[in-house]
């Protein structure tokens, strides 16, 4: 995480800026950023600037290592505190929304902030892919795997919430691929999720699940629909997904007081670097939420996927077989 360090003390995260010598966000809630409308990515050609917030300072990140602290000068002008001659003017559209940054060389266009539903253009129609997927067969596996013991996670604790995106059109394909919204996991993983959920309550949060067990044929659809350049975000069906084994879960936090999901540095299923668990951008509040989720899940034997802050694999996932039962077949 670069200069930012996270000390994990149970679920009491201490988010330290510059090595825990200065300001810190500790325990319950992180302070809301006063610059949330500015925070995000700005591009000129292939070069990207990131405006981010750490503690009480707005910063601009021009590469993977160098952050420049900013101050807000007259109007909508941002100046480097250490180099006042370096400046960026905020560009706004007709509705006064931030649309870019301007410096002496031209305009940096604001990229999608990353909280809306991410979409791709499927390589072939999803309906066609689903029909083909149902005719395909999962890869053969050797002996010695554990017998499946999938449990409905919400049946173990009804305060765990569901927002199963693949049962609606609010997903990266833009079409529902599940007939129902359910979340199943192998028994040890399901029980571990419940423990993480209950531990988070002390900090005022609960877990909201986007996906858990996923039939193999759905992974086949995802792979075939996704362009080669984005396939690091989907599992190769030739290998099988940890979701197919019932040993991976996609989730986020919700606020117990309001019932609303928290805001993370990216939206769910966003195929971009903003989804990486160590992405440095966004607000300190967003990163604090992301790290709180990770800390809770790691404490119960899960490991985060390197490209997705929301995806967690349960330890020992390789002991379970690849499954292709539909959610309806599991539900009886």
- Catalytic positions: 308
Euclidean distance between CA atoms 138 and 96, whole angstroms: 52
Q: Which residues contact 269 (CB under 8 A, 6 or more apart)?
A: 117, 118, 165, 171, 172, 210, 233, 250, 310
Q: Round to whole Å and give the CA distance between 206 and 154.
A: 12
DSSP state at residue 331: H
Nearest to 151 by CA among 119, 189, 114: 189
Instruction: State the CB neighbour count (10 A cutoff) for residue 227.
Output: 11
Nearest Cα residue to 48 out of 40, 58, 57:
40
Contact residues for 128 (Cβ-Cβ < 8 A; gap 6+) = none
Longest dimension (CA), the chain: 69
């Amino acid at each position: 995480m670069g200069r930012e360090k996270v000390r994990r003390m149970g679920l009491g995260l201490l988010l330290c800026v510059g090595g825990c010598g200065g300001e810190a966000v500790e325990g319950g809630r992180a302070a809301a950023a006063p610059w949330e409308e500015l925070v995000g990515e700005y591009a000129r050609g292939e070069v990207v600037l990131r405006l981010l917030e750490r503690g009480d300072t707005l910063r601009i990140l021009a590469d993977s290592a160098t952050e420049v602290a900013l101050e807000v000068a007259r109007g909508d002008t941002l100046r480097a505190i250490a180099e006042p001659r370096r400046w960026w003017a905020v560009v706004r559209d007709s509705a006064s929304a931030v649309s870019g940054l301007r410096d002496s060389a031209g305009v940096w266009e604001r990229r999608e902030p990353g909280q809306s539903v991410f979409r791709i253009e499927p390589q072939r129609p999803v309906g066609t892919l689903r029909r083909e997927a149902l005719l395909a067969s999962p890869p053969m596996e050797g002996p010695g795997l554990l017998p499946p013991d999938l449990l409905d996670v919400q049946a173990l604790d009804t305060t765990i919430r569901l927002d199963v995106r693949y049962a609606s059109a609010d997903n990266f394909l833009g079409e529902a691929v599940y007939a129902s919204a359910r979340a199943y996991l192998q028994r040890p993983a399901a029980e571990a999720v419940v423990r993480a959920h209950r531990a988070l309550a002390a900090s005022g949060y609960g877990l909201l699940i986007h996906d858990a067990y996923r039939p193999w044929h759905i992974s086949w659809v995802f792979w075939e629909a996704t362009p080669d350049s984005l396939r690091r975000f989907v599992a190769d069906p030739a290998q099988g997904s940890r979701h197919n084994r019932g040993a991976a879960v996609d989730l986020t936090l919700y606020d117990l007081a309001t019932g609303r999901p928290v805001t993370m540095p990216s939206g769910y299923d966003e195929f971009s670097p903003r989804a990486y668990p160590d992405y440095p951008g966004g607000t300190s509040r967003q990163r604090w939420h992301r790290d709180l989720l990770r800390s809770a899940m790691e404490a119960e034997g899960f490991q985060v996927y390197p490209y997705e802050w929301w995806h967690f694999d349960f330890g020992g996932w390789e002991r379970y077989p690849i499954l292709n039962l539909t959610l309806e077949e599991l539900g009886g």
